[in-house]
Amino acid sequence: MAQGTEPRASDLASKLLIPATAADVASILFSLDCSPIRIRIGGYPACGKTTLSRKIIDRSKRALHVESESWILPLVDRKTRDLSGAHPESYDIPRAVNDLHSLINARPVYLPTYSHKLGSHDGGQMVEMLPNWDLVLDGTPFTLCEFDDFSTLCLFLVPASFEDWLTQAIQRDVETRFFTRAEATRHNMRKARDLELVWVRSPRALSVKCHLSPPEYYYEAKS
């Protein structure tokens, strides 16, 4: 469960008054001198969720990085229901919650690995964590209220420029996720629509603007 010593969104927001790199954000988190750090990072795709997650992991002595794609439904199922990967119903939320409870309570859990090439899970691994470990939950659905028990710090990343985000998200899906450009455009416009639903269901999330300046991302608390 969430620890009483964890930083809250307001603690981080007060430090992110100007855009900061992922490494800067990680440094700020650890400067708050709270242990363990349990953080959920969700929001728009291609806004640096995994980049920020990895910087936090790099700064931690003992941490577990969990990605939401372990619980995503197969692509064929999502296509049948016209759901993007950002829609809450694209994930097996009850199983994710159950698995995370097991992890928090030091019980090993098998986490499947999702293959974008196959559009389904392909293998996986057993993972476990100790009670004093840091935990980073990385993925769009993790800001939902169903996951509030697992952290008091929750970030919802949004692009500072929707147009720049759409261009970059489309390019990523074409280059790494085997979409045609037309499919990628439609897919990301659907994600933007579905993310409005996720935001409504994320009452504890701090909205953080992401400035897309490859190869760096810059993060700033949204006023």
Residue 1 forms part of a structural domain:
no
Token output for 203: 């009452």
Residue 74 forms part of a structural domain: yes
**pLDDT score of 1 more than 60:** no
| Tally of domains in the chain | 1
Containing structural domain, residue 94: 9-221
Backbone angles phi, psi at 132, to 5 degrees: -95, 10
Residue 56: CA count within 13 A, CB half-sphere? 26
Tell me how far apart the alpha carbons of residues 188 and 193 are, in angstroms, rounded to a whole number: 9
pLDDT at residue 5, rounded to an integer: 58
Residue 104 parent element (H or E): helix 93-104
Task: With respect to residue 142, please indicate whether it lies within any of the assigned structural domains.
Answer: yes
Q: Check residue 86 and give its pLDDT.
A: 94
Alpha helices in 49-92 (DSSP H): 49-59, 75-80
pLDDT digits (tens, 9 = 90+) for 4-52: 456 777 888 888 988 999 999 999 998 887 778 999 999 998 899 999 9
3-state secondary structure of 71: helix
User: Is residue 27 in a domain?
Assistant: yes
Residue 192 lies in a domain: yes
Say whether pLDDT at 138 is over 90.
yes
pLDDT band for position 205 (50/70/90)?
Answer: very high
pLDDT of residue 202: 97
Interval 44-100: pLDDT, tens: 988 999 999 999 999 998 999 999 999 999 999 998 998 989 999 999 999 999 999
Question: Does residue 4 sit within a domain?
Answer: no
- What is the DSSP secondary structure assignment for residue 73, as one 8-state letter? P
Q: Is residue 3 part of a domain?
A: no
- Dihedrals phi, psi of 112, to nearest 5 degrees: -70, 155
Supply the pLDDT for residue 4. 46
